[in-house]
Structure 1
């Protein structure tokens, strides 16, 4: 029998931080966790939009400002945040034109990976249970992670490979974090999940003609944001979920379906690349993890 959100145990007394919670998968994840009694902190750049969403969700839902494209904002958010049970690294950008973050990072990699890397490290001492990081089936669309040029300083920017690099980095980060937690003897856990394909606003922000047609097409092959949120919900709430497993849908090449152990690329399992990515992420963000 497939897992479904009705299987989520009562979350009363547990606090969740969800990045990018004001739309799409993040909004659905917020609604489900609040509905099970959890306290949810919506960590969002646009706090006005987030508050409008929060006001329409029953339960203990709070909004806190966080801009993952700005390390100063990430540090400020961490300083304002007390103990939490679960961090869900959900926010993301996809296929956007070339730009750089406030700190000079290529934006897709800077927001999707480096922002979450810094946030997780800064909150780790206040985290009681687990981290859930959203990757993507797009992680398998590149055959090499250029750890010598992750920030696109010496190569031509291509938006699709840049997105794949960011989502591969998410997957490798989650796995390396779990390896380091286990090595340190910590009971905390790190999960990598993917949501499949869903017609969220990610498909309407590429600033190309595809913005007008991609969402209807994606709706045909993918599944709803509520279904896409199930991978995050499973990993965030199920006590016996295995952190060694990459959780997500497997139907139609991973586009849709129930939450199951999902395949990942050979490259994503390369522990030496995990290490190099981790070291470069620490260097660029100046965030050093303390286990």
Structure 2
């Protein structure tokens, strides 16, 4: 693969990153590259046993903290323990899982992928000095968020549609956060990234026929290794002159693989009125309010 690679990550000595879901897949690859570049990395994970093994591999610059994004009390407890960081990478996620609910009663995918990260960012933003990177997916294209039924209480559950909704919510959140930071005169940035088609542990958890095709897809040439899938979020997190509000992803094979660059997206994400309504509903559901002007 030509273009921007791990070797192009600038020196990160003296910088601290919080990476959610850093015990496997894209999060693990991201944390590994950041540590090698000199950064201190907080592995924010639900499965601390797996995270401890990763920290042992990466060395003393990697530390582990418990974070279950499907439990707002866990989110608040984690955030209270963070004294400060330069960058927050909202990486963790679930994909097309069977219907179930979070501790707080949210549909699991919107609750984990979006609402958990929304609350986490609200709590950490005053402690973040530079930028927030939120990981979306090309599957945001199938998202069609129903604000009056965000948690699938009235509709028949469709796991892939719910996943697409959560990834569209990630994209809309990242863009709306960028707009609000700019309006507040903040120097902080909000970026969004997606991995294209990356072979990770995310696939194969739907518990239906789609698992077969997901696992088959991981073996085809269209799938890239997790290390390559992590490049767009590493680019968004480390390149100094990235433009806030930009969506980054692979630039080859219709955004499925290749070096990172600006990515196309469903233009519904530019609907500022809908983004604001989603923001307001997310604040209502999580009980967490943003102060985008805090600390800078």
Same fold (TM > 0.5): yes
2:71 counterpart of 1:84 = no
What is the rounded CA distance, in whole Å, between the counterparts of 1:33 and 1:235 in structure 2?
12
What is the rounded CA distance, in whole Å, between the counterparts of 1:100 and 1:253 in structure 2?
34
| 2:146 counterpart residue number | 146
What is the rounded CA distance, in whole Å, between the counterparts of 2:64 and 2:194 in structure 1?
25
Q: Find the residue that maps to 2:234 and give its secondary structure.
A: helix
Contact 2:174 2:245 in 1 (8 A): no
| 1:170 counterpart residue number | 170
Q: Find the residue that maps to 2:233 and give its secondary structure.
A: helix
Matches within 5 A, 1:95-174: 95-142=96-143, 144-174=144-174
Q: Find the residue that maps to 1:138 and give its secondary structure.
A: helix
Q: How many residue pairs get matched? A: 290
Q: CA deviation at 1:227?
A: 0.3
Q: Find the residue that maps to 1:152 and give its secondary structure.
A: coil
| 1:266 counterpart residue number | 267
What is the rounded CA distance, in whole Å, between the counterparts of 1:212 and 1:145 in structure 2?
27
| 2:49 counterpart residue number | 48
Matches within 5 A, 1:130-279: 130-142=131-143, 144-211=144-211, 214-220=214-220, 221-279=222-280
Q: CA deviation at 1:210?
A: 4.1
What is the rounded CA distance, in whole Å, between the counterparts of 2:284 and 2:21 in structure 1?
25
Task: Report Cα offsets for 1:56-112 as digits up to 9, x if no partner.
Answer: 124500000000000000000001111100000000000100000000000000000
| 1:14 counterpart residue number | 15
Q: CA deviation at 1:205?
A: 1.7
What is the rounded CA distance, in whole Å, between the counterparts of 2:156 and 2:133 in structure 1?
31
Could you tell me which runs of 5 or more consecutive residues in structure 2 were left unpaired when the two chains were aligned.
none
- TM-score w.r.t. length of structure 1: 0.97
Q: CA deviation at 1:215?
A: 2.6
- TM-score w.r.t. length of structure 2: 0.95
Q: CA deviation at 1:6?
A: 1.2
Structure 1 runs (4+) greater than 6 angstroms displaced:
none
What is the rounded CA distance, in whole Å, between the counterparts of 2:122 and 2:31 in structure 1?
22
What is the rounded CA distance, in whole Å, between the counterparts of 2:217 and 2:156 in structure 1?
29
Q: Sort the Cα spacing of 1:188 and 1:127 in 2 relative to 1 into closer, same or farther, 3 A.
A: same
Q: Find the residue that maps to 1:250 and give its secondary structure.
A: strand
Task: Report Cα offsets for 1:14-60 as digits up to 9, x if no partner.
Answer: 00000000000000000000000000000000101110111112450
Q: CA deviation at 1:213?
A: 5.4
Contact 2:13 2:38 in 1 (8 A): yes
Q: CA RMSD in A?
A: 1.2
Matches within 5 A, 1:20-39: 20-39=21-40
My pick for the range that moved more, 166-175 or 145-154, is 145-154
Contact 1:35 1:58 in 2 (8 A): no
What is the rounded CA distance, in whole Å, between the counterparts of 1:255 and 1:274 in structure 2?
26
Task: Report Cα offsets for 1:193-219 as digits up to 9, x if no partner.
Answer: 111111111112222254355234224
| 1:285 counterpart residue number | 286
What is the rounded CA distance, in whole Å, between the counterparts of 1:59 and 1:213 in structure 2?
39
My pick for the range that moved more, 194-203 or 113-122, is 194-203
Contact 2:136 2:167 in 1 (8 A): yes
